């Protein structure tokens, strides 16, 4: 991309942050052109299925544990902005930092009531909207925002220093 948008520099093992949903789309477009692959942001349902541990889920409140300190960097334990990835325990699928560290942008438009009427299998999110979904909580939020059921949102051009991305292939 020619530059690192992250506000917090000095450790290449930290997640990229300070990116908008639109920035993520630009990055994905270039990555796909370079690699010939089809990377994308996960849908909100895909993100939650993976965060909950997929078919291996133990039904935890956070990604991999009911004890947030075991699996996440959040306001009570971060002592600083973002932390090096994979320094906490992974979830049942071996995925790290699905709770805490940085919010992950999802592909979906946000609709507070979407899941009351959505298909039960593989919902794709609303067809349109004004704001996009963020999931996972971050280093700058309290424990309740790191719960797997918590949904965040912002405008596609919005960004702050705890918005990041996770890709699907």
DSSP 64: T
Judged by DSSP in three states, 8 sits in coil
Chain centre distance of CA 72: 12
Domains along the sequence of the chain with CATH = 40-164 (3.90.1580.10)
> pTM, whole model, 2 decimals?
0.93
Q: How far is the C-alpha of 50 from the C-alpha of 36, rounded, in Å?
A: 24
pLDDT tens for the chain, residues 1 to 169: 778 888 887 778 999 999 999 999 999 999 999 999 999 999 999 999 999 999 999 999 999 999 999 999 999 999 878 999 999 999 999 999 999 999 999 999 999 988 888 888 888 888 899 999 999 999 999 999 999 999 999 999 999 999 999 999 9
First to last CA, the chain: 19
Q: In Å, what is the CA distance from 7 to each residue of 17, 18, 53, 158, 159?
A: 7, 6, 30, 15, 11
Asked if 166 and 133 touch (Cβ cutoff 8 Å), the reply is no
Contact 140, 83 (CB under 8 A): no
Q: What gap in Å lies between CA 28 and CA 101, rounded to an integer? A: 21
Quickly tell me which residue has 């990604």 as its tokens.
Answer: 63
Give the residue carrying structure tokens 């090096």.
84
| Cα–Cα nearest to 72, from 7, 21, 145, 6 | 145
Q: Is 104 helix (H, G, I), strand (E, B) or coil?
A: strand
pLDDT at res. 118: 84
């Amino acid at each position: 991309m020619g530059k690192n948008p992250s506000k917090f520099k000095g450790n290449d093992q930290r997640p990229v942050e300070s990116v908008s949903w639109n920035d993520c789309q630009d990055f994905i477009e270039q990555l796909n052109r370079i690699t010939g692959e089809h990377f994308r942001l996960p849908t909100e349902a895909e993100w939650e299925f993976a965060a909950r541990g997929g078919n291996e889920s133990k039904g935890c409140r956070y990604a991999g544990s009911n004890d947030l300190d075991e699996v996440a960097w959040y306001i009570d334990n971060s002592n600083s902005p973002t932390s090096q990835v994979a320094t906490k325990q992974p979830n049942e699928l071996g995925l790290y930092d699905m709770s805490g560290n940085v919010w992950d942008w999802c592909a979906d438009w946000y609709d507070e009531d979407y899941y009351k009427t959505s298909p039960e299998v593989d919902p794709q999110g609303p067809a349109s909207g004004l704001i996009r979904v963020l999931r996972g909580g971050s280093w700058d939020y309290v424990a309740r925002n790191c719960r797997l059921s918590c949904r965040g949102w912002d405008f596609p051009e919005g960004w702050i220093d705890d918005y990041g991305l996770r890709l699907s292939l």
